[in-house]
Amino acid sequence: MVTKKKSRPASPGLRQRRRLQTEEKIFLSAMHLFRDKGFVQTTVEEITRAAGVAKGTFFNYFPSKEHVLGFLIERQKGAVAAHLEMARAGQLPVPEVLKRLGHALTLFPGKSPQMARSVIAAFLANEDVRARISVEMSTGRQAVAEMIRLGQQRGQIRSDAVPAQLAHNFHRALIGTVVLWALDPVSPLKKHLEETIALVVAGACPAAQAPCPPARRKKEAQ
């Protein structure tokens, strides 16, 4: 017996379906509660009650409360991959793709300040989740660096910058924007994001664009 196929040979199986259903129910209930009440204020019992299962069932699916949010990683991975594909296709200029990626990545935490705080709290609190996150973030940045490299080849991004470094700065700017908004959600995240991305992308575009002509040089003001 090399392959441990066990008892999952060719059955779509009632169990399989149930399992996925239950997992989905728990996940969605958790997300709604996190969005409305926040991570800390939501108890596992509330989640399971909302999902219509017993408390113990939760831990058959997720090893800890934080791990539910670990699920988001998959979403983000998908988004990054899709945008990399988009960049490769070449229909859109890379800066535009980056802009869209920024919006896509912040879509979920941006659902509510509570949700943003929940995500950050969970990522920070749980050693295991954090470890996984940091790996995925790293590979995600590599993908972004690849997009940037493509943009450089096409003359859409200044080529005197190291792609990996630009990717890192992109990442930092995104995170900073979300966290600052989570701490102090004055206006919609989207607005902050526009500003941030505009800045980063502008800084990454070829020098040619000279967006600062009306710079009155007050030299003599000293």
The site for a second copy (CB under 8 A) is made up of 40, 117, 120-121, 123-125, 130, 133-134, 137-138, 152-155, 158-162, 165, 168-169, 171-177, 179-180, 182-184, 192, 195-196, 199, 203, 206-208, 210-219, 221-222
Instruction: Choose the stretch contacting DNA; rule: CB under 7 A; options: 5-13, 79-87, 143-151, 202-210.
Output: 5-13
User: Is residue 19 near DNA by the rule CB under 7 A?
Assistant: yes
**Residue 144 buriedness (CB in 10 A; 0-12 / 13-18 / 19+):** buried
Question: Rule CB under 7 A: is residue 44 a binding residue for DNA?
Answer: yes
35 and 111 in contact (C-beta within 8 Å)? yes
Q: Does 38 bind DNA (CB under 7 A)?
A: no
Contact with DNA (CB under 7 A): which of 28, 36, 43, 71? Answer: 43
Q: Contact with DNA (CB under 7 A): which of 1, 5, 7, 214?
A: 7
What are phi and psi for residue 217, nearest 5 degrees?
-85, 105
- Interior CA angle at 49 toward 47 and 53, to 5°? 100
CB of 28: closest distance to DNA in angstroms? 15
CB of 106 closer than 8 Å to CB of 174: yes
CB of 70 to DNA, least distance (A): 12
> Is residue 6 near DNA by the rule CB under 7 A?
yes
Phi-psi region of 126 (alpha: psi -120 to 50; beta: other; left: phi over 0): beta
- Closer to a second copy by Cβ: residue 23 or 46: 46
Residue 1 touches DNA, criterion: CB under 7 A: no
Query: Contacting DNA (CB under 7 A), which of 50, 53, 73, 137?
Result: 53
Closest CA to 95 of 144, 140, 160: 144
Q: 129: closest CA among 182, 61, 71?
A: 71
- Residues in contact with DNA, total (CB under 7 A)? 27
DSSP code per residue over 171-182:
HHHHHHHHHHHH
Q: Which range in 62-70, 103-111, 140-148, 181-189 contacts DNA by CB under 7 A?
A: 62-70
Cα gap 4→7, rounded to integer Å: 9
Quick check: 55 binds DNA (CB under 7 A)?
yes
Q: Show Cβ contacts of residue 73 under 8 Å, excluding neighbours closer than 6 positions.
A: 132, 133, 136
Does 22 contact DNA by CB under 7 A? yes
Q: Which residues sit at the interface with DNA, rule CB under 7 A?
A: 6-7, 9, 11, 13-16, 18-19, 22, 42-45, 53-57, 59-61, 63-66
